[in-house]
């Protein structure tokens, strides 16, 4: 295998910015370092299971437009749910909880002006939590007063059917769509129209005043089947995408307010370019495939509405994935947040470039992300600072005072000195296809090769890894295991070639890539090939079981949680939350045709190959999982028992869905996983079966 990029001995992907906004070629930091010298030193004892998986003390902070307050999600002291809080920066960092739920978490939130917030209920930012009583919309002042509900949840609406309660809140079909930074006191809400199969057919937009609750419709004469709208910083529409069955179309708004068709395509095989950002004037940016095969940022010609020939921004070896930062007053594009190996930012504005340099010098060796609302006016930015060993810490930088002060930490109980370092590299599969691999190596010196866990990400058609502190690989590394995370074919974020190479490769080429990543890691000399386990959730659970079937000599054991076990079940279990459109078009193209590919789907389903699994397995599933219904687990267990398998550990969790919600579940499951791995990968165990 040929190694082409390593974290500590090569540069990150280069950023190429072209055109009128400037020219820049940057080599970003090429070395991972620990927290600053003031950080605590190692105690010699690894953190508990709960310390890795408990909710962060605080997360997702957002600075107010006036730069005087921070809104953020905090762990609630009263119950195992999150709450919305506000830190008053000019009042000694005084913090006050302003909103919470007893039966759900704070999902999305944002500032509406500098004195009021809006927020929704539902799963948290990591996709960890799921609740039936979700969405809705509420508003509250930053001091916690004048709270009111703006949109009902489905559960609340159903419970009021026979009551006489009158509310001005919108019905649950409405949802928060966007929050313009324009001092209007309004948010943009969407109304979803669904068919009888509960597939989304269109979205209609309106502006809603959060204080008066008055609503005015936007774009009443838009094209049919509009499901995705793009808004400029003031909340005005400039692009939309329609979807009817598998046909997708892209429209741009012209100067006279009319919608002009720009492109059509097949939603799966040949989608349209994706609208990215606009200043509401002549600057319109879209994401489209570059000559190198990666998604790049292109400018749209304001007269022809065609994308320019050369990309404005492209990343070597990565799809561009990021966000645009605009100045609220001038609408000028200030910069771009994006992710290549790690989070980074390119600033077009000279003042913000200076701020970034100052912060990076004060917090070296970290990824430091500056959030700018109206920072050119206030002189203040909020900084999220992290590294592979350091969970996110939060700072306020006052450019006028030249002061950087910390106001919080996501996980203050985690010691950076105890954490494992993370390396990213690229290797070549057996057929020559290049793909990334992330390796987390335990601290300290080993007497010899270490045991390893091959951790397979879910999705599978998503980006699975990102440089930074991540709970599960750090937990496994703290227990002495090298963690190998391959971005196998089918993974998004690294170009079309790698992504499409995974189509209809479940159980075949995708599994070969995982095996090739392990072979590469063993060849580096640090991994004991006789003591390796494969593990993962969702698709990762599927891949773990198929790995035991396809390459049984490589693994001592396998762990699957929320795992797919039968590919036909993905189409036939109609109580799954997969839409009918995704089954008929997306899954058929990317996984296989249920009729034409029936034999391949059977051959690559662990449920149908249970007799071929010989290694010990740990299987876990949430009883309320609707993404991968529990039939996958119960039927798989019965098939293993029927095949005479003797080493099965099986656990289900009541009240859990596709991802654990309760800390007690995390502690129980990852504790089981810790004991399972220790049993089967202990020093002195025999070679792989």
Report whether pLDDT(355) > 80: yes
pLDDT at position 417 is 94
User: 121 to each of 80, 138, 468, 560, how far by Cα in Å?
Assistant: 14, 9, 27, 29
Q: What's the pLDDT band for 76 if we cut at 50, 70, 90?
A: confident
Considering only 217-226, 356-365, 455-464, which range has the smallest mean pLDDT? 217-226
Residue 369: which residues within 8 A CB-CB, separation 6 or more? 337, 343, 345, 383, 384, 385
Q: Which of 445, 424, 444 is nearest to 436 (CA)?
A: 424
Q: What is the pLDDT of residues 465-523, one digit of tens each?
A: 999 999 999 999 999 999 999 999 999 999 999 999 999 999 999 999 999 999 999 99
Residue 18 lies in a domain: no
User: Quick one: average pLDDT of 448-465?
Assistant: 96
Q: Please state, in angstroms and rounded to a whole number, the distance separating the CA atoms of residues 12 and 8.
A: 10
pLDDT at position 43 is 53
Q: Count up the domains in the chain and report the number.
A: 1
Q: What's the pLDDT band for 430 if we cut at 50, 70, 90?
A: very high
Q: Which of 323, 283, 336, 291 is nearest to 310 (CA)?
A: 291
Beta bridge partner(s), residue 118: 110, 139
Residue 130 lies in a domain: no
User: Mapping DSSP to helix (H, G, I), strand (E, B) and coil, where does residue 356 land?
Assistant: helix
Question: Using an 8 Å Cβ cutoff, are 85 and 103 in contact?
Answer: no
- By DSSP bridging, strand 527-537 and strand 450-456 are parallel
Furthest CA-CA distance within the chain? 76
Q: What's the pLDDT band for 123 if we cut at 50, 70, 90?
A: low
Torsion, CA 533, CA 539, CA 542, CA 548, rounded to 10: -30
Residue 414: which residues within 8 A CB-CB, separation 6 or more? 47, 51, 52, 391, 469
Q: What's the pLDDT band for 38 if we cut at 50, 70, 90?
A: very low
Residue 502 lies in a domain: yes
Q: Which residue has the tokens 């997306």?
A: 586
pLDDT above 70 covers a percentage of the chain that reads 88
Q: Please state, in angstroms and rounded to a whole number, the distance separating the CA atoms of residues 580 and 198.
A: 8
Residue 635 lies in a domain: yes
Residue 371 lies in a domain: no
Q: What is the pLDDT of residues 182-195, one digit of tens each?
A: 989 999 999 999 88
Report whether pLDDT(126) > 60: no
Tokens at 399, concatenated: 């450019």
pLDDT at position 21 is 41
pLDDT at position 221 is 86
User: Quick one: average pLDDT of 419-446?
Assistant: 96
User: Quick one: average pLDDT of 657-681?
Assistant: 95
pTM, two decimals, is 0.90
pLDDT at position 419 is 97
User: 223 to each of 202, 251, 512, how far by Cα in Å?
Assistant: 10, 9, 45
pLDDT at position 422 is 97
Average pLDDT, the chain: 89
Residue 560 lies in a domain: yes
User: Quick one: average pLDDT of 348-360?
Assistant: 97
User: Mapping DSSP to helix (H, G, I), strand (E, B) and coil, where does residue 58 land?
Assistant: strand
Task: Give the CATH number, domain containing residue 555.
Answer: 3.40.50.1820
pLDDT at position 103 is 85
pLDDT at position 651 is 98
Task: Give the 3-state secondary structure percentages of the chain, helix then strand then coil, rounded to 5.
Answer: 20, 35, 45
Whole domain around residue 532: which residue ranges? 423-567+616-680
Residue 57 lies in a domain: no
Q: What is the pLDDT of residues 560-585, one digit of tens each?
A: 999 999 999 998 887 667 777 888 88
């Amino acid at each position: 295998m040929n190694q082409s990029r390593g974290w500590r001995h090569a540069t990150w992907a280069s950023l190429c910015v072209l055109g009128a906004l400037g020219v820049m070629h940057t080599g970003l930091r090429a070395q991972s370092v620990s927290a600053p010298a003031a950080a605590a030193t190692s105690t010699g004892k690894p953190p508990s299971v709960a310390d890795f998986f408990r909710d962060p003390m605080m997360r997702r902070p957002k600075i107010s437009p006036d730069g005087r307050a921070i809104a953020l999600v905090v762990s609630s002291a009263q119950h195992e749910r999150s709450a919305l809080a506000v830190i008053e920066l000019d009042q000694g960092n005084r913090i006050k909880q302003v909103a919470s739920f007893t039966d759900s978490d704070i999902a999305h939130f944002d500032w509406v002006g500098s004195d009021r917030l809006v927020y929704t209920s539902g799963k948290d930012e990591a996709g960890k939590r799921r609740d039936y009583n979700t969405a809705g919309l509420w508003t509250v002042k930053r001091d916690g007063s004048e709270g009111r509900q703006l949109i009902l949840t489905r559960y609340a609406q159903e419970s009021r059917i026979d009551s006489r309660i009158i509310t001005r809140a919108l019905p649950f079909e409405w949802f928060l769509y966007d929050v313009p930074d324009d001092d209007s006191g309004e948010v943009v809400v969407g109304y979803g129209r669904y068919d009888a199969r509960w597939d989304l057919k269109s979205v209609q937009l309106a502006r809603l005043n959060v204080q008066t609750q008055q609503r005015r419709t936007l774009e009443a004469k838009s094209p049919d089947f509009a499901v995705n709208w793009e808004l400029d910083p003031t909340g005005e529409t400039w692009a939309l995408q329609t979807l009817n069955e598998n046909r997708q179309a892209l429209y741009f708004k012209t100067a006279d307010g009319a919608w002009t068709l720009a492109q059509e395509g097949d939603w799966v095989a040949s989608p349209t370019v994706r609208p990215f950002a606009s200043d509401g004037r002549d600057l319109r940016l879209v994401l489209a495939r570059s000559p190198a095969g990666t998604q790049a940022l292109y400018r749209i010609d304001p007269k022809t509405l065609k994308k320019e020939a050369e990309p404005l921004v492209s990343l070597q070896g990565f799809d561009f994935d990021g966000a645009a930062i605009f100045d609220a007053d001038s609408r000028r594009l200030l910069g771009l947040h994006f992710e290549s190996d790690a989070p980074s930012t390119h600033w077009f504005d000279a003042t913000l470039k200076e701020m970034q340099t100052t912060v990076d010098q004060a917090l070296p060796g970290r990824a430091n992300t500056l959030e700018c609302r109206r920072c050119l006016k206030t002189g203040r930015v909020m900084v999220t600072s992290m590294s592979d060993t350091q969970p996110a810490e939060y700072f306020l930088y006052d450019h006028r005072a030249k002061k950087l002060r910390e106001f919080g930490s996501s996980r203050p109980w985690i010691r950076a000195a105890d954490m494992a370092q993370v390396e990213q590299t690229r290797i070549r599969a057996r057929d020559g296809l290049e793909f990334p691999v992330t390796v987390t190596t335990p601290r300290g010196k080993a007497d010899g090769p270490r045991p390893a866990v091959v951790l397979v990400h879910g999705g599978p058609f998503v980006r699975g890894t990102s440089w930074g502190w991540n709970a599960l690989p750090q937990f496994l590394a703290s227990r002495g295991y090298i963690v190998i995370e391959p971005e196998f074919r089918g993974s998004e974020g690294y170009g079309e070639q790698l992504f499409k190479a995974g189509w209809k490769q479940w159980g075949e080429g995708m599994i070969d890539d995982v095996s090739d990543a392990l072979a590469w890691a063993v060849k580096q000399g640090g991994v004991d090939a006789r003591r390796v386990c494969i593990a993962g959730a969702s698709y990762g659970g599927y891949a773990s079981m198929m790995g035991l079937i396809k390459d049984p000599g490589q693994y001592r054991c396998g762990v699957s949680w929320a795992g797919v076990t039968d590919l036909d079940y993905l189409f036939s279990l109609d109580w799954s939350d997969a839409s009918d459109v995704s089954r008929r078009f997306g899954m058929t193209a990317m996984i296989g045709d249920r009729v034409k590919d029936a034999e391949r789907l059977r051959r690559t389903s662990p449920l149908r190959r249970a007799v071929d699994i010989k290694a010990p397995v740990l299987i876990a599933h949430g009883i309320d999982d609707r993404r991968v219904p529990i039939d996958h687990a119960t039927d798989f267990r019965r098939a293993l028992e029927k095949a005479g398998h003797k080493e099965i550990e099986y656990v289900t969790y009541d009240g859990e869905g596709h991802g654990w919600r309760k800390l007690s579940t995390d502690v129980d499951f990852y504790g089981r996983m810790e004991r399972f791995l220790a049993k089967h990968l202990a020093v002195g165990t025999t070679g792989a079966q």
